[in-house]
Each structure stands twice: as structure tokens, then as C-alpha cells.
Structure 1
Amino acid sequence: MSSPPDLPKFVVWAPDYTDEGVLQRRQALRPSHREKALKLISQGILRVAGGCTTLESIHATAEDKKFVGSCLIFEGENIDVVRKLVEEDMFYKGDVVCVLAAMMDIDTVTLTGSVQWDKEKLVILPIALATSLPPVPS
């Protein structure tokens, strides 16, 4: 199932917050985040996705990588459709704060709004790709 070739593509840069608990939140939310991403990939909506790391983490083991955010490429009718998908992601949503706070045994007051991605710095832009996207998994 692939998207029509004329469907616009959008690149998303979603930087993480930089506070002390950011890595723990990323690890706690990753299973739900990944499950949703795999569904969007199989539908041909999310075409490329990954966590961005520090330069020092290039050769680090998976456990030792230091993430600074996420980069994603979506296909969608318009930027509003893509923005809605991003805002539904576990790394963006604020309504997981109470569950996450309980899991991490922290005060919910220390977390407000987005729990992983910094909403103030998140960027969504149309992208004119010079190369092909990988095929949609069948």
C-alpha cells in the first residue's frame, strides 16, 4: 500500500527537552511511541523516522546513546494532517504525564505539557526530496 507520488512530504524536527529526566521519559514511552510509528509506517504515512543523537554517541552501544530529538518524514494531504499525527504521538502528548510520573515516582508538577518533545522548538516543513523514499513495507 503506497501513497500517491504527488502527496506532499513533510520533515519533522522534534527536539527533546534537555532536563535531567529526559532519557528516562524517552525509554519509558518508547514502546508506545514505536508501536504507533510502526502502524503509520505500514500505512505509508510515516516514511522515515529515527532518534537523533549527539556526535559523541555515533559509535556508542544502544544503551549508551544520548538522544537529542527525533527526525521524521511524513506523507500527508497538508501540514495540518501531519501536525495532528505528531500531536497524537506519545512523545508529544501531555496527557501521559500522570501515568509516567507514577512510573518514575516523581511529582507531576515537574512535568507540564509535552513529556519528551519540546513543543516550542518542534518544526514541521514541506520537503522537496532529491532522492526516493524507501518502499512502504507490504
Structure 2
Amino acid sequence: MSDAVKLHNFIVFAPDKEGVDRQPFRPEHLQRILEFHATGVLKYGGMMTTPESITSGEEKLIGSLVIIQGESLGAVRKIIEDDVYYRSGIWDPERLVILPFVLGLPWAGIHD
């Protein structure tokens, strides 16, 4: 019997509160995100923008979307709640969504 911890993928949808400025907190956020990526905890991540950002040429950031690997929903929630964007009130805790996520094509190794 293996003592290895089973890890699961979780999708995190972290919308920003209206009218917040991420810039002062970005360096600390990025440092932490890069550490999680280096250890394999953070699989994918990025910023969400408004649909108008595509045509206006000006990115208006409205939140973050990441895939994190963790033991449990609670463990992933702790990662998110310890992030400077959460602690500083950038991400809206009322609209935060963390759900288990099963990777599909092409990452699952399934080919047509």
C-alpha cells in the first residue's frame, strides 16, 4: 500500500472587486505564483480581461483563472486565501469559485 498523497486538479476563478488596482501588489503576487509553478502546484494561470479588451487595445483586468494541484479543496483554498490579491481585497471572496477539475485534451494523453 502506497503512502503517496493523491493530488487533484482544481480550477480557481478569482474575479476582482470592481475598481481595484492590482499594480501595487503584482510583484508579491508574481513571486509567489512563480514559486508555486516551479514546484508543480500551479499548472496554468493567467488574467481575465473584459471582452472589450480584445477590440479596444487596452486590457482591462477583471480577475484571475488558475489550475492548481492540491490534496484537497481546503488546501487549495488556503493557497488562494494566503495570496496578496486575496489578503489585500483585490479578489472578491463572495464570487471566488474553486472546483475540482479533470484535465481533458490534450493533457490527459487522449488522442483522436
Q: Which residue of 1 aligns with 2:87?
A: 93
1:127 to 96, 101, 112: 101
Give the strand-richer structure, 1 or 2: 2
Count residues in correspondence: 103
2:25 to 26, 29, 32: 29
Name the TM-score, length of structure 1 as normaliser.
0.69
Q: What is the Cα deviation at residue 72 of structure 1?
A: 0.6
Partner residue, 1:116: 90
Structure 2 unaligned regions, length at least 5: none
Matches within 5 A, 1:72-83: 72-83=66-77
1:15-54 pair list within 5 angstroms: 15-19=15-19, 22=20, 25-54=21-50
Give ranges in structure 1 of 5+ residues lacking alignment.
Answer: 95-114, 134-138
Aligned residue for 1:116, secondary structure, equals coil
Candidates 33, 52, 63, aligned match of 1:69? 63
1:56 CA displacement: 1.4
Residue 58 of structure 1: CA displacement?
2.4
